Structure 1
Amino acid sequence: MKFKLSFFNVYIISLLTSLILLGSRDSYAQTKKIDSLLKRAASHTKQDDVRAKILFDLTTQTLPHNPKSALKYTEEILSFENQIKDKNIVSATHRIKGIIHFHLAMYTEALTSLNQALSISLQLKNDLEIGAALSNIGTVYLVQSKFPEALKYLLDALKSFEKNKNEQQAANDLGTIGIVYTEMGDFTEAMKYYQKSLALHHKLKNYVGQSSVLANIGIIQFKNKNIPEAIKYSQKSLKIADSIADLRGTARDNGNLSAYYNELKNNDLALIYGLKAIEINTKTNNKRSLGINMQNVSAAYLGKGNYKEAKSYGLKALQTGNELNITELKRDASLGLSELYDAMKMPDSALLYYKQYTKFADTISNDKKKNEITRMGIQFDFDKKEFSYKQKELLTGAQLKQQQLQLALNTAEIQKGLQFRDLQTVQLQNEKFRSEEKEKQLQIARNKEKLQASKVNALSQQQKLNKLELKQLWLYGILALVVLMSVLIYLLNLYRIRRLKFKSELQYQQYQLSESELKAIRSQMNPHFIFNVLNSIEAYVMDNEKRKASRLIQKFASLSRLILENSTKSLVSGDKEWKALMLYTELEAMRYDDIFTYTFTVADDIQLKTLYLPPMLIQPLIENAILHGLIVNPKPDAHLNVTITRKEDKIRITVEDNGVGIGNIENKNVMGGVKEMSMGLASIQERIDMINKQQIGKKASFAIEAGTDQQGTIAIICLPFFNGVPELYTEN
């Protein structure tokens, strides 16, 4: 028998100007205040902000004891919301209306009202109301067992409360998040949030909040099979709830104690606490908690052998679960009825309700892996139960025992298979870690080798320089002994030689600097390009489009291989660079679901295998044409055209698109994209300038202009015709 527990987050009701406490220390003072507000409402009948505030205060005062009456006041406020100038009142009214629906177990209506409140608060930029609405929506999803949705809204609410330093609301929200993690089975994470919440409630002297958190900690102890600790925490909570006349807290703790004593087979105490919880929840019209209490009372009657009462309360619990559409309650009530009919020797009815139990249990988990394991366990229990019922009628006691042993063996085999699978997963992870560590060690070794080679080269140059200087000193001494005139002539010639040598070394250093700058630019462009392609692969993987992701990875692997081969060379063969450009364009087309077409054209008088091009020079132009031209405002005939032609001793590469045009980019909301495009074009111009420095007499150029009628963009690169110059193709 599964015993159901009651979570209760007391401070889900947070209002615009004050907090609503569920329960009051002085009911007489509260009644007196309600009477005063009713007199003010009767004297001020004009539908304006003043009457709206009076009715709102009546709602907050009436809600803890009579939610249905409170609902009428909110409906009256919203009937003249267009006449209310302060829209914060309208937002708060929608939200408290949602809270009232929550207490009345009208969860669909509650979400509608709370989402309206959130929408108005976002328009007003009211951070307090935004956080409160988010927290309330998360709480509604929580009681519906929609834990991922609940966690999303509650965490967003917590950020809002912490940003505005609202400790009271933060304490409430932390407790509710702890409840979500408890229901999801992550007790460690739940305890972290409960401890934070309890500390804030102690700081604020919030006794209702302390009671709520203590009750929830008791539930974790119960789930960890530590029943005495669970009872201790629940009794602490009940003591606080009784001292502040918190009816809902009292009902919650009585219901939980009923479940705890059921677990200890103390049916008398379980019945006492359960019936008391039903009495209080009936007064407050808390239908959800009533369903939970009825299930616990049914279990207590079953333990006492009172099958009639057990059946009555069990059916009521199942009916409540169906009315409120609470899957967990329907699951537990079905299991309880199955066990009841089994005890009554009615196997057909027991099997019927057990099938319902398996159906409800199989729908609770959202996680696929957890859902599959849970389903297998439930199916196994179901098969075992069904087999047990049939064997009672068909098999002898010895045969049944043998079958049970076989089932136990099957269970052990399943457990062994699961453990073997987990072990394989761990081994794969360890292997991955080892591979990454080896790669890091290899990279460190390569860097050390390069550093050592640089040191040796520098030392060799220094030794050669020292020897040369020593020879020069000997030569100066010998020539000084010959004749003064010879010395003067020698000095003049030496001065001239040194100037020529210095000029030659300066030119060589400038060439090396240009080459290193060119290599640095390529090394910056390659990671940038790879990062963009990886983003595309990630998008398909996240969308679960396996085939597209597989095709994208294959093409990306081919492209990566070409990039790695070309990245260390100043010039590469035209066919390899052309293939890399086509692969890149095809990858981008796949990434954007083929919203544009493209063509690559090579002139007849050009042989790509004998032509050499600088690597990764043309690719940024294609990237800019796609990202800043074709996909900004997609159109049906979006097209990219890349051509290569020969004019005299130069190669002309043209990248043309019919997108928004370079002149229209400023008008779009793509300022970040324009900045990236400018950096890419600047990098191309720097490489063109470096090529011109290295190739004297063979000038390269780069130009970009708008297309016809300002539609699209045309980028043109002209390069010297590098053909059969082997010294330029080696690694830098």
Structure 2
Amino acid sequence: MFKKICFLFFLLNAILVAQQRDIDSLENQLLSTKLADSTRLNLLTDLGYYYYSINAKKGLKVLDEALLLAKSLKDIDKEARAYQYKGHNYSTIGNDSMALAMYDKAGKIYKTTNNYNKQARLIYNKGLIYFNKSNYAKANKCNIEAFEAFKQANDSVLMAKMLNSMGVNYMYLSDYPSSLSKYLEALTIYKDLKDTISLDFANTTQNLGILYTKLKTYKKALVYHEKASEIYKTLDYKYGLANSYNNIGNIYDYLNQQQKAIDNYQKSYGIMQKSDNKLGMANALTNIGIVNVGLKKYNKALNNFNKAKALYETLGNTNNLAIVHEYIGESYLNTSSLHKAKNHYQKAYSLAKKSKSISLQVSALEGLTEVNKQLKDYKNAYNYINEAIILKDSFNSIENKEELVRLEEKYKYQNEKSILENNYKQEQLLFANELERQKFIKTTYLAGSGIVLCFVVGLMVFYKKKREADFNAKVATTELKALRAQMNPHFIFNTLNSINNYIVCNKINDASNYLIKFSKLMRQTLEVSMYENITVEEDIKLLENYLDIEKKRIPNGFNYEIKIDDGIDKSNVLVPSMIMQPFVENSIWHGVSKLDGSGVITIQIKKLNKQELCYSVDDNGVGITNTNKKNTDHTSLGVKITNDRIAVLNKTKNINAKVNIINKSLGTRVEVILPYQLAYLNDD
């Protein structure tokens, strides 16, 4: 899946919204104000702020006049504000060093006047500069420091702004749970303040849409983007609208509606070009290039990417430079310019490490793997794919997925709790009014109080039980995922050693074939590991690929067959993912591998009755009683993992699944009895 450059909202440090009609009004007032007094100074500083998102160069000229006037009037507050607004304008045109210098000058003045609120704003502004330089950790440090200052000042609006910015930084650091948490906290503050038709609310909503895009939840993402764009249109905020065009374009590209995507990107580019916003222009060019890669128009794509690359280099944006180099590498790869492709993928990897983006590092490593395979440098291909798998494992950890679910549920519960509290307050108010009017009816009062009390107590008990039930369900789900995760590391380790052995023995073709099968199996494993149940068809495909890989590792080889009853719709019947893998592994390594090429493994799935399914593995190996102690322990580990999984399933699903191990005269048979479960009900 292609990565897109997303426009993120975080640069809003003053209260007013930069709208063209406000600028027109201020300019007209300035023309009628000839005296060099405080009135003219206020007009100049306000104009300097409004210009930053529309015409930053003009804003700098206006603020230079404001600075001279503030110094002559000895108005240090306006002098500091003029420096601060110059920082905004320098940041817009990409001159970050000058922006930091302006913020430092303003900060020194605010420090002498003990204006902590404005000092916190400047810390936030400096964090934005670090963000533009892709130093997200340092940017976040500034955001957290500013958040604490605003919290002490009890400034909820600016606290929400900081949370939004922290969400952006965490998103770029690939810490999606923390990102989601901050966005949801910010939205909660805005809703509590009833501030849902504002630029701040729109920005956070837009960023949440970007996060859901990264999580590939496109329909949900589109809802958030469209909600934000409607607010920008209402506020006539062109910069925000340009960002919306870009982000909506991303969604259309993911949904394979490429022309709609390009149309939105070009609208975004046009708005950004008018305001000389280099970052916005570069982002739009990058996204147009990415669409052209998808359409296999590689020369057009390279033209877009090279223009964007020059802009990003001017801005020092390492994160987006990494993305551009990766796609330049992909374009050269598809036009068979392999050495050029390799060079750009290496640059992408280096930049991704610098910006500490795990997802970008994985993409660059995957590109380097493919280039080296085509260059027949299989040793480096092996090293790159191994490094990518390690990074991907850390990125796709079970804890991250569980944390995302937990945060979403917590946010939903908080909303429900807020609604219930409001309803309860209204009920209490109505009751108090009625009580005041009918004091003399003591019996009615007592009865009414008792009813309300019982209702509240009952409601509290109900939601307490509901929370406990939800929590227990999440714990059980986490246990299942953890148990499934135990079955992979030793297999990966052994397989990588086999690939390494092929390389050392100079069996290049064998190494390449093995690596391809292994990559396919890893992809399948990652895809199914997040699901509790998969279809019989998916599980069998996974086992077939696994068996084919293991056959290559066994010196004498073995045969296998898979039998599925005719009455079983393998695309509709569900089984727990990878439930039989440890038993198949035991049959191979502690059963048929001991034989001289005559080993046979039979996997069978049959319907016992309307409620039960039998999933079995049968081999003609040496049998349990003839294995040594080490093998017995290994077999017991596989049995323990599966028994633990089935115990959790029995507890949470109220079923009676079980494992039967049968020792034969020649070999072993393992039967797992599972509930007969359908993905969807048949019409008959």
* TM bucket normalised to smaller: 0.5 to 0.7
Match status 1:96 vs 2:143: no
| 1:369–1:320 distance in 2 versus 1, CA, 3 Å | closer
| 1:41–1:323 distance in 2 versus 1, CA, 3 Å | farther
Q: Deviations over 1:561-612 (max 9, x none)?
A: xxxxxxxxxxxxxxxxxxxxxxxxxxxxxxxxxxxxxxxxxxxxxxxxxxxx
**2:17, 2:509 → 1: CA distance?**
70
Measured after TM superposition, the shift of residue 44 of structure 1 is 7.6
Contact 1:351 1:386 in 2 (8 A): no
1:701-720 matches, within 5 Å, as none
Measured after TM superposition, the shift of residue 413 of structure 1 is 5.5
Measured after TM superposition, the shift of residue 182 of structure 1 is 1.4
Match status 1:315 vs 2:346: yes
Measured after TM superposition, the shift of residue 92 of structure 1 is 1.2
Contact 1:4 1:296 in 2 (8 A): no
| 1:396–1:181 distance in 2 versus 1, CA, 3 Å | closer
Contact 2:52 2:89 in 1 (8 A): no
Counting matched residue pairs gives 426
Other-structure match for 1:117: 146
Other-structure match for 1:7: 6
Other-structure match for 2:215: 184
CA RMSD of aligned residues (A): 4.2
Could you tell me which runs of 5 or more consecutive residues in structure 1 were left unpaired when the two chains were aligned: 425-430, 432-545, 554-732
Measured after TM superposition, the shift of residue 313 of structure 1 is 1.6
**2:81, 2:59 → 1: CA distance?**
17
Contact 2:56 2:275 in 1 (8 A): no
Other-structure match for 1:659: none
Q: Deviations over 1:624-661 (max 9, x none)?
A: xxxxxxxxxxxxxxxxxxxxxxxxxxxxxxxxxxxxxx
- Give the secondary-structure state (helix, strand or coil) at the position aligned to 1:420: strand
Other-structure match for 1:153: 182
Other-structure match for 1:420: 575
Other-structure match for 1:254: 285
TM-score (norm 2): 0.55
Contact 1:74 1:97 in 2 (8 A): yes
**Identity value in percent:** 20
The partner residue of 1:62 within 79, 82, 90 is: 90
Q: Deviations over 1:42-100 (max 9, x none)?
A: 65889x53432232122122211212211122233334544224332112111111111
1:269-284 matches, within 5 Å, as 269-284=300-315
Letter of the 2:387 partner, please give it: Q
Measured after TM superposition, the shift of residue 211 of structure 1 is 2.1
Contact 1:335 1:357 in 2 (8 A): yes
Other-structure match for 1:268: 299
**2:97, 2:143 → 1: CA distance?**
17
| 1:286–1:369 distance in 2 versus 1, CA, 3 Å | closer
**1:67, 1:130 → 2: CA distance?**
25
The partner residue of 2:396 within 365, 374, 377 is: 365
1:221-620 matches, within 5 Å, as 221-368=252-399, 390=502, 394=507, 410-411=541-542, 419-421=574-576
Measured after TM superposition, the shift of residue 421 of structure 1 is 2.1
Could you tell me which runs of 5 or more consecutive residues in structure 2 were left unpaired when the two chains were aligned: 19-48, 403-480, 525-539, 547-569, 580-610, 612-643, 652-684
**1:41, 1:169 → 2: CA distance?**
30
**2:312, 2:211 → 1: CA distance?**
23
Contact 2:290 2:301 in 1 (8 A): yes
Measured after TM superposition, the shift of residue 321 of structure 1 is 1.0
**1:376, 1:216 → 2: CA distance?**
39
Contact 1:321 1:330 in 2 (8 A): yes
| 1:52–1:410 distance in 2 versus 1, CA, 3 Å | same
Letter of the 1:133 partner, please give it: M
Measured after TM superposition, the shift of residue 365 of structure 1 is 2.4
Other-structure match for 2:100: 71
Contact 2:10 2:161 in 1 (8 A): no
Match status 1:210 vs 2:246: no
Contact 1:337 1:353 in 2 (8 A): yes
| 1:68–1:13 distance in 2 versus 1, CA, 3 Å | farther
Measured after TM superposition, the shift of residue 292 of structure 1 is 0.9
Measured after TM superposition, the shift of residue 38 of structure 1 is 4.8
Q: Deviations over 1:508-549 (max 9, x none)?
A: xxxxxxxxxxxxxxxxxxxxxxxxxxxxxxxxxxxxxx9xxx
**1:17, 1:335 → 2: CA distance?**
46
TM-score (norm 1): 0.51
**2:327, 2:202 → 1: CA distance?**
30
Letter of the 1:105 partner, please give it: S
Contact 1:338 1:350 in 2 (8 A): yes
Contact 1:104 1:286 in 2 (8 A): yes
| 1:25–1:404 distance in 2 versus 1, CA, 3 Å | closer
Letter of the 2:4 partner, please give it: L
**1:375, 1:256 → 2: CA distance?**
40
Measured after TM superposition, the shift of residue 293 of structure 1 is 0.8
Contact 1:181 1:190 in 2 (8 A): yes
Measured after TM superposition, the shift of residue 370 of structure 1 is 5.6
Other-structure match for 2:632: none
| 1:368–1:140 distance in 2 versus 1, CA, 3 Å | closer
**1:100, 1:359 → 2: CA distance?**
32
- Give the secondary-structure state (helix, strand or coil) at the position aligned to 1:348: helix
Measured after TM superposition, the shift of residue 24 of structure 1 is 4.7
Greater CA drift, 264-273 or 415-424: 415-424
Contact 1:12 1:139 in 2 (8 A): no
- Give the secondary-structure state (helix, strand or coil) at the position aligned to 2:82: helix
**1:298, 1:144 → 2: CA distance?**
23
Contact 2:9 2:204 in 1 (8 A): no
**2:312, 2:275 → 1: CA distance?**
17
Measured after TM superposition, the shift of residue 297 of structure 1 is 0.9
| 1:289–1:98 distance in 2 versus 1, CA, 3 Å | same
Contact 2:10 2:165 in 1 (8 A): no
**2:161, 2:121 → 1: CA distance?**
9
- Give the secondary-structure state (helix, strand or coil) at the position aligned to 1:63: helix
Contact 2:229 2:241 in 1 (8 A): yes
